Amino acid sequence: MDLLNTLVDKGLRRELPTREEALAVLATSDDDVLDVVAAAGKVRRQWFGRRVKLNYLVNLKSGLCPEDCSYCSQRLGSSTGILKYSWLKPDEASKAAAAGLAGGAKRVCLVASGRGPTDRDVDRVAGTIKAIKEQNEGVEVCACLGLLSDGQAERLREAGADAYNHNLNTSEGTYGEITTTHTYADRVDTVNKAHAAGLSACSGLIAGMGETDEDLVDVVFSLRELDPDSVPVNFLIPVEGTPLAKEWNLTPQRCLRILAMVRFVCPDVEVRIAGGREVHLRTMQPLALHLANSIFLGDYLTTEGQAGQADLEMIADAGFVVEGADEVTLPEHRAEAAGSVCGSHADAGCGSHADAGCGSGCGSHGGVAATATEPRTDLVAVRRRGAGTDLAPNA
């Protein structure tokens, strides 16, 4: 297929595809999906070999969020029945992080619900970062605390944070349909603040609400322009009690096409399969490793993920290897550019509110929405173990 040959050549040269080429990837048929995976896999192997980076989420504060994001189980007025608790103490967070690190993770992502941190919250997270780093030599720490105010990114950097995550989630044109309590511009501003402070920026998207191909390409091209080191790709987990609980618009094949499109647009960036891979990719998860070079290990923030041991077995069975703590994630040209700012750990980004999705009205902006798939509500379970509980995590 001429399209795929062209995209492979561009990916190996780090050249941006055209919008038409990106849209054409999403428009390929299920009959061609293995060809698409094989082509994008060549680009993935060029820049990341067969390594898979493992990341582990620690939910520092669950629920109780004043924002009204339609996809989120922690949103204002949520009736999802998720775990709700205030800030974990530093030793509690460090204990939770240790479970993921013992399972093979090299990066810990510290996430807290809310619009954004107060200065007191930043101090609290700084203490948690210190505790984790003192007890786990060489660990990378990413913070995901919402919208940042002036000076907060610098304080997190000084406290030892390596990265900051804040996702764009969807296109600028549809953003107002997911939330009314902050804007797309607010999110872009926070990513830029992280960049300016010398943190490794991480920003991604959420797919699965019937959004158009144009919306997906818009947000991925916007991410390319922001130039984060890491792009997490979330697939909506339709949690009962959220406005998007009935949105089941993804098939495994569409998920693979989305990941391939992201890889072609962002060839040398860490692409992470984040929330929803177990729900939507299901038995096709190993194929997705040919596209993405990073995953989360075990559970997510408020929902259950695949068991950590199953993740490790999947990686090995698919012929990939877990990235070691002493290995640099990003290709040399990116790592060198980041190294002057973030030191030896400036090679990746973090995850997201990884049980999230996009806006319910995305399908009204032209293009063709994905065909709805049979709801797999049996695969959606609220997290009842790990951080905020007395039960062992699923790492």
CB burial of 57-88 (b: ≥16 within 10 Å; e: otherwise) equals bbbbbbbebebbbbbbbbbeebebebbbeebb
Residues 203, 188: Cα–Cα separation, whole Å: 9
How many C-beta atoms surround the C-beta of residue 55 within 10 A? Answer: 27
Q: Tell how far CA 62 is from the center of its chain.
A: 18
Q: Which of 177, 114, 128 minimizes the C-alpha distance to 353?
A: 114
pLDDT of residue 361: 31
pLDDT of residue 300: 78
pLDDT of residue 337: 76
Q: Is residue 5 part of a domain?
A: no
> Any idea what the CATH number is for the domain that residue 270 is in?
3.20.20.70
pLDDT of residue 383: 82
Please name the amino acid found at residue 263: R
Active site residues: 65, 69, 72, 109, 142, 202, 272
pTM of the model: 0.89
Q: Is residue 365 part of a domain?
A: yes
pLDDT of residue 70: 79
Q: Is residue 67 part of a domain?
A: yes
Q: Is residue 10 part of a domain?
A: no
Residues 245, 310: Cα–Cα separation, whole Å: 27
Mean pLDDT split into 10-residue runs, the chain, 395 residues? 96 98 98 98 98 95 80 72 85 92 95 91 95 91 96 97 96 89 93 96 92 96 97 91 87 98 98 94 97 92 85 97 94 78 36 34 35 75 78 80
Residues 115, 218: Cα–Cα separation, whole Å: 24
pLDDT of residue 392: 82
Residue reference for tokens 């990939």: 320
pLDDT of residue 104: 93
Which DSSP string corresponds to 247-289? -----HHHHHHHHHHHHHHSTTSEEEE-TTHHHHTGGGHHHHT
pLDDT of residue 352: 35
pLDDT of residue 389: 85
Residues 170, 186: Cα–Cα separation, whole Å: 13
Q: Is residue 1 part of a domain?
A: no
The count of domains in the chain is: 1
pLDDT of residue 339: 58
**What residue numbers bound the domain in which 257 lies?**
15-379
Q: Is residue 108 part of a domain?
A: yes
Q: Is residue 3 part of a domain?
A: no
Q: Is residue 4 part of a domain?
A: no
Q: Tell how far CA 44 is from the center of its chain.
A: 17
Residue reference for tokens 């992502």: 109
